Amino acid sequence: MRAPLLLPARARIAVVVSVACAAALAGCSGGGGGSAPSATRSTASPSAAGALITIKDFAFHPATLTVAPGTKVTVINKDGTTHTVTATGTKAFDTGEVKSGQTVTFRAPARPGSYPYICTIHPTMHGSLTVR
Ligand SMILES: [Cu+2]
């Protein structure tokens, strides 16, 4: 007579435990997947794989960038107006006009050194590319 009463109670506990396990597993796998991309983005050491300069609000981001010789540098213009990335002095590199929303690339100089650059359209915009 008591057995039929005990079985449903045990079944209910089993259901609660299995739901808790499923929630813990889902949370664990979600956290692991999100951490990997942020780790690769945080590397700041010189790399020949590529570098990125974003132009936004009439400024270069980052304003100073260090790359290995000959690195392919990508320039993204997120402003509503045309800009350039032009090395001052020897003009070691010059993207020419980069229109609003456009992405261009250039090769960093092979010779190590510090290369200040400006936007020729807005000469108050300054950045610096260091090759080493
Ligand atoms: Cu400009």
Q: Per residue in 7-25, pLDDT tens?
A: 444 544 444 444 443 444 4
**How close is the Cα of 29 to the center of ligand 1, in Å?**
44
Tell the residue number behind the tokens 């992405």, with chain if given: 103
pLDDT tens column, 40-87: 444 445 544 579 999 999 999 999 999 999 999 999 999 999 999 999
**How close is the Cα of 53 to the center of ligand 1, in Å?**
13
Rounded to two decimals, the pTM is 0.64
**How close is the Cα of 110 to the center of ligand 1, in Å?**
25
> What pLDDT does residue 37 have?
37
Residue 38 has pLDDT above 50, yes or no: no
**How close is the Cα of 100 to the center of ligand 1, in Å?**
10
Stated length of the chain:
132
**How close is the Cα of 65 to the center of ligand 1, in Å?**
18
**How close is the Cα of 91 to the center of ligand 1, in Å?**
16
- What is the arithmetic mean of pLDDT over 33-43? 38
> What pLDDT does residue 50 have?
78
**How close is the Cα of 88 to the center of ligand 1, in Å?**
14
Residue 39 has pLDDT above 50, yes or no: no
Task: Please count the CA atoms within 13 angstroms of the CA of 123 that sit on its side-chain side.
Answer: 1
> What pLDDT does residue 90 have?
83
Q: Helix (H, G, I), strand (E, B), or coil: what is residue 43?
A: coil
Report d(CA 127, CA 115) in Å as an integer.
9
